[in-house]
């Protein structure tokens, strides 16, 4: 049994990993390369595949286009980058059912692109058995302000944006044949990349990442890259309202994926100013704990059944 992460490591093995201009290679939300004195280009690629990342009968055309771009802009946000440009590689079956969805997909993508001031600059069309969209997004971030995963230090305050678990709840309801309510549908089908939060956070935070594979898995990645652990107050985590009413447990929500919220660590001396800056822009962030020396997660106020061994998030290959 091969995990997605060992596949990535194995794939990268034969490649040169260092070179002129490379500031940060694979392993973070984005790569960083130097493009001029003090400024870096921040790039990421992510795919949305029919039947894997979206259910073709349940997602609207515009939702598909929105989500394909949003998951990439979320990676830029997690680095504190300002979105600039993107390229979209479309694979589409040569049948009228799928081809007729492309204009709506483009409209959904274009609406988000316009709001994010991110220009489409290129792309590709190819035939394939399933509809899929592979987007490469590029942004700019001052080198000194880029929010990497490896910057958290013991004592830094831990924040999370928005709410957790809504996207997973939406997917579960779709799979059970139920229709999620409007809020939950948005969380699954129209995740909102936290671009403005990233631009604020880059002035304060020591590290950041977006939550795409589930809170529990991703907090583990953040700790691993920063060589630290976390103390987390379980009861402080902003769960999506309706998780329990829908019959799911909060720990289940922490294993769900696709939240596209940001995890952020902020040095104690800057935490108040960060909270104030977010409040001034009406951006929801919640203080849920702190980074610590010991590399495990130490939970406060956690339910007894919080099974961390089963705390894996989404993996394509297990």
Please, which residue, 14 or 177, has the CB nearer to a second copy? 14
Please, which residue, 31 or 297, has the CB nearer to a second copy? 31
Residue 52, SS3? coil
**Strand spans (E) along the chain:** 22-24, 31-36, 39-49, 82-92, 119-127, 132-142, 157-161, 207-210, 229-233, 262-266, 285-292, 297-300
Please, which residue, 120 or 283, has the CB nearer to a second copy? 120
Provide the minimum distance between the beta carbon of 182 and a second copy in the complex, in angstroms, as a whole number.
24
DSSP annotation of 53 reads T
Residues paired with residue 199 on neighbouring β-strands, in sequence order: none
Please, which residue, 102 or 244, has the CB nearer to a second copy? 102
Provide the minimum distance between the beta carbon of 309 and a second copy in the complex, in angstroms, as a whole number.
23
How far is CA 20 from each of CA 25, 32, 254, 302, rounded to the nearest angstrom? 12, 12, 39, 47
Residues 6 or more apart from 49 whose CB is under 8 A from it? 130, 131, 132
Provide the minimum distance between the beta carbon of 255 and a second copy in the complex, in angstroms, as a whole number.
19
Burial of 110 (0-12, 13-18, 19+ CB in 10 A): middle
DSSP annotation of 54 reads B
Please, which residue, 153 or 312, has the CB nearer to a second copy? 312
Angle at 97 between CA 95 and CA 101, to 5 degrees: 115
Provide the minimum distance between the beta carbon of 123 and a second copy in the complex, in angstroms, as a whole number.
6
Provide the minimum distance between the beta carbon of 224 and a second copy in the complex, in angstroms, as a whole number.
18
Please, which residue, 103 or 303, has the CB nearer to a second copy? 103
Provide the minimum distance between the beta carbon of 170 and a second copy in the complex, in angstroms, as a whole number.
20
Please, which residue, 42 or 297, has the CB nearer to a second copy? 42
Residues 6 or more apart from 16 whose CB is under 8 A from it? none
Type and span of the H or E element at 175: helix 166-175
Provide the minimum distance between the beta carbon of 290 and a second copy in the complex, in angstroms, as a whole number.
30
């Amino acid at each position: 049994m091969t995990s997605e992460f060992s596949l990535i490591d194995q794939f990268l093995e034969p490649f040169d990993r260092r070179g002129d201009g490379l500031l940060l290679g694979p392993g973070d939300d984005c790569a960083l390369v130097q493009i001029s004195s003090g400024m870096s280009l921040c790039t990421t690629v992510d795919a949305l595949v029919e039947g894997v990342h979206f259910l073709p009968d349940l997602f609207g055309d515009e939702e598909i286009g929105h989500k394909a771009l949003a998951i990439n802009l979320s990676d830029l946000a997690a680095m504190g980058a300002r979105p600039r440009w993107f390229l979209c590689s479309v694979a589409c079956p040569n049948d009228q059912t799928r081809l007729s969805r492309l204009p709506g997909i483009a409209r959904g993508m274009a609406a988000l692109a316009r709001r994010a001031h991110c220009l489409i600059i290129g792309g590709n069309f190819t035939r394939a058995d399933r509809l899929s969209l592979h987007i490469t997004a590029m942004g700019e971030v001052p080198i000194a302000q880029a929010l990497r995963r490896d910057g958290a230090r013991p004592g830094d305050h831990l924040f999370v944006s928005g709410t957790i678990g809504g996207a997973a709840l939406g997917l579960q309801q779709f799979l059970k044949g139920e229709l999620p309510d409007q809020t939950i549908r948005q969380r699954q089908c129209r995740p909102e990349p936290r671009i403005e939060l990233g631009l604020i956070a880059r002035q304060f935070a020591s590290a950041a990442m977006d939550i795409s594979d589930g809170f529990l898995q991703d907090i583990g990645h953040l700790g691993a890259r920063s060589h630290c652990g976390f103390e987390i107050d379980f009861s402080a985590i902003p769960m999506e309202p309706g998780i329990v009413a829908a019959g799911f447990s909060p720990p289940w929500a922490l294993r769900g994926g696709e939240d596209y919220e940001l995890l952020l660590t902020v040095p104690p001396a800057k935490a108040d100013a960060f909270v104030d800056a977010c409040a001034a822009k009406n951006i929801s962030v919640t203080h849920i704990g702190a980074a610590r020396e010991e590399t495990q997660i130490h939970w406060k106020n956690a339910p007894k059944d919080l099974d961390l061994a089963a705390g894996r998030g989404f993996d394509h290959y297990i």
